[in-house]
Amino acid sequence: MGKKGLARERLLLITCECGAQIPIVYDIYEMSSLIELHIKTHKMKDACAELSEAEYARLEDLLISKIFEVLGK
């Protein structure tokens, strides 16, 4: 991580299926809390239904695979 000279300020984003964009940060803890926070916004949109564990895991997998997609380019 943090190779010098590598466009360090370039902001990479992933787009969730809901259309929201989440910045990719090079800190695994920060990244996972961004993902967690974002997934919680899905829960709030559908206030009467709790996000199921399966749905949470599905969104988490989706967002993580998008990160790899973007970084793999």
User: Based on CB atoms, which residue is closest to Zn ion, 17 or 27?
Assistant: 17
- At CA 30, angle to CA 29 and CA 33, rounded to 5? 85
User: Based on CB atoms, which residue is closest to Zn ion, 15 or 71?
Assistant: 15
CA distances to 24, 27, 29 from 4, rounded to whole Å, are 18, 16, 22
User: Based on CB atoms, which residue is closest to Zn ion, 15 or 27?
Assistant: 15
Interface with Zn ion by CB under 5 A: which residues?
16, 18, 20
Q: C-beta of 46: minimal distance to Zn ion in Å?
A: 12
Q: C-beta of 39: minimal distance to Zn ion in Å?
A: 7
- CA–CA distance, 10 with 48 (Å, rounded to integer): 39
